[in-house]
Structure 1
């Protein structure tokens, strides 16, 4: 009886750690929104969320997007953000100075899409 409970507890703990590590939003400074202007150098449109790279102020930034299903449901298509297309991103950068942004809003021309 104890062995199955131990196995269940270990399995639960093992799955909780990666989820907690992946969604560590506290590493981003939400008190200072930043807007990046430019175009993506690279784009990954997949699960668990979209990601891209964007050159801004002499650095190559990692850009963390929302899950693709959410972006598409809110009217943002992959074609609109393909590398080379001009866009503006507003979000939060990492507190430790790493050039990485968690995107809250994507603006393309007159169109604005809220991601969170």
Structure 2
């Protein structure tokens, strides 16, 4: 019996830091969605999340048509209109690390693997008042003329 407890405690100790890093969404401010647009510099298309590094240029701005863009319907109730109306351009320029969805969700949305050099746009969340590292948890991805919702699965039917 003691051996099981030791084994469980040891395994838990090894996995806890990874679980905390993976599920640390609480530090992202979902009341302030931001818009990023830039060129992909690096792609990591593996679980637990596909990740991009993009270069946001100094002249990046919020597109005039953003509020009228059609966003995909999602199974989980996500108020796309409210997100679009609150979205502002990111204040920080330069290199951003972007966390996309897990690969099974990317496959469900039929998102083609992003390539280095491709131009993408994203709406998502970062730290309150953009304090901290330039990291975005993506809510929507705009790539190849398509819009993809990344929080939940696509509505079929």
- Deviating beyond 4 angstroms after TM superposition, the runs of 4 or more aligned structure 1 residues are none
Counterpart pick for 1:66 among 70, 93, 101: 101
SS at match of 1:83: coil
| Map 1:1-116 → 2, pairs under 5 A | 1-56=1-56, 57=58, 58-78=93-113, 81-95=114-128, 96-108=131-143, 110-116=145-151
Q: Number of residue pairs matched?
A: 114
Query: Cα 1:8–1:39, aligned 2, differ >3 Å: closer, same or farther?
Result: same
1:111: Cα distance to partner?
1.4
The structure in which a higher percent of residues are strand is: 1
Aligned-residue CA RMSD in angstroms?
1.9
Query: Cα 1:97–1:112, aligned 2, differ >3 Å: closer, same or farther?
Result: same
5+ residue gaps, structure 1: none
5+ residue gaps, structure 2: 59-92, 152-157
SS at match of 2:137: strand
- TM-score under structure 1 length normalisation: 0.83
Bigger relative contact order (CA 8 A; separation at least 6): 2
Instruction: Give the Cα–Cα distance (whole angstroms) in 1 for the partners of residues 11 and 42 of structure 2.
Output: 36
- TM-score under structure 2 length normalisation: 0.64
Instruction: Give the Cα–Cα distance (whole angstroms) in 2 for the partners of residues 46 and 9 of structure 1.
Output: 28
